[in-house]
Amino acid sequence: MRKLKNAELNRLSVEQFKTATKSPFVIVLDNIRSQNNVGSVFRTADAFLVGHIYLCGITATPPHREIHKTALGATDSVEWSYLQSTQQAIKSLKEHDYQVYAIEQAEDSISLDIFEPRFDKKIALVFGHEVKGVSEEIMDLIDGCIEIPQYGTKHSLNISVSVGVVMWDLFRKHKQHVSPEYP
């Protein structure tokens, strides 16, 4: 078996990415403190054709050395915007007909493995602070809550890992819904 070279991966150029059909997902980062996590989220968003990332509150914005280190250029391909508060982002998304889900451990959350998204609307996914999670104020505004099942001793996954797990699962479900050939 031979590892493929980057040139053999047939990836989109930044220009092609910008005009490509995006998945019906956007990501909202609610007060993420680590710039490395922010960069990792950009890289994951690029991998799954996420249309937009909303950086809210204390979440750092590009250009930043630590974001660049983990994003590896994805800040050039994935559209993003900064909003002072996550509440502003959610209000705007709802006005544009998004379903808004927090990724959090909460009462009445839906386990990711059984969550079946409705693809007649676009979906916004809110990921919270590394220690505090999604804030209570935001939990009052969401349409639902998705929980990643976990079976070990730790209470949570790192935010960048959570984004990767959730985006892979939802992208896969969307691909099955749309067509096996998607994108």
Distance CA 176, CA 110 (A): 20
Number of domains observed in the structure of the chain: 1
pLDDT value at 180 more than 70: no
Residue span of the structural domain in which 48 resides: 22-177
Residue 161 lies in a domain: yes
pLDDT value at 179 more than 90: no
181 confidence band (pLDDT: 50, 70, 90) = low
Q: Residue 52 phi/psi, 5° resolution?
A: -165, 150
Q: Summarize pLDDT for 61-96 with one digit per residue, the tens.
A: 999 999 999 999 999 999 999 999 999 999 999 999
Instruction: Determine the pLDDT at residue 176.
Output: 87
Residue 36 lies in a domain: yes
Q: Quote the tokens at residue 167.
A: 């985006």
32 confidence band (pLDDT: 50, 70, 90) = very high
Ranking 33-47, 121-135, 169-183 by mean pLDDT, the lowest is: 169-183
Residue 142 lies in a domain: yes
Instruction: Determine the pLDDT at residue 75.
Output: 97
**CA nearest neighbour of 77 among 39, 112, 106:** 39
Pairing type for strands 98-103 and 144-147 reads: parallel
Give the CATH number, domain containing residue 132. Answer: 3.40.1280.10
56 close to 31: Cβ distance less than 8 angstroms: yes
**CA nearest neighbour of 46 among 76, 9, 7, 89:** 76
pLDDT value at 132 more than 80: yes
Distance CA 75, CA 45 (A): 10
- 149 burial type by CB count under 10 A (0-12 exposed, 13-18 middle, 19+ buried): exposed
pLDDT value at 183 more than 70: no
